[in-house]
Amino acid sequence: MRRNSMAVNMSNTSQVIADDLNVRLDYFENRVAFARLLFPAEAKLAMEMADHPTSDSSGNLREVDLNETPSVRSERLHEKLRALIKTVDMGQRFSPHCSEVLDMFLDDETDMADYFLEKGTPEEEKNKKRMRFMELKDDIQKAFCRDVAENQGQF
């Protein structure tokens, strides 16, 4: 029995598209969540300006609609992705330095692995994590101060 290669290709393609959508959603949800954690007032403002619901991106589980069709689900996820992207764009426009720190924090996966892999005594690990936290805190404070200074000059 011969399979229809077109049907197989279409199912593979739709799976890749769904995977890409989920990866992008995860990235932007994480970015917004970290922004809310590190810069709560600024993130809230960016979300309000982007008309993004603040409660939806906090990682809370949503009720599952068992009657939802795949196309409706896909459209809902695309709508959520557009809102997240708009929120991130607003944050980048009005807080470019803070966004830069977030970029550095989220995109620096190789460096983060060094801090979370145990390589030494528990005391050394604790000191490494404390140092990384202090570096991040310092970067956040500097970026915030630069954004505030630039935004005050505009008004």
pLDDT value of residue 59:
46
CA distance 4 to 1: 10
**Per-residue pLDDT, 54:** 58
Higher pLDDT, 110 or 146: 146
As a whole number of angstroms, the distance between CA 81 and CA 28 comes to: 8
The answer, yes or no, to whether residue 145 has pLDDT greater than 90, is yes
- pLDDT score recorded for residue 117: 63
More confident: 146 or 45:
146
Contact residues for 155 (Cβ-Cβ < 8 A; gap 6+): none
* Cα gap 32→92, rounded to integer Å: 11
Tell me, what's the pLDDT at 28? 92
The tokens of 154 are what? 């505009």
pLDDT at 110: 52
Question: Is residue 15 over pLDDT 90?
Answer: no
| Digit-coded pLDDT (tens) for 74-103 | 899 999 999 999 999 999 998 999 999 988
Give residue limits of the domains in the chain: 1-94, 96-155
The answer, yes or no, to whether residue 62 has pLDDT greater than 70, is no
Check: CB of residue 30 under 8 Å from CB of residue 86: no
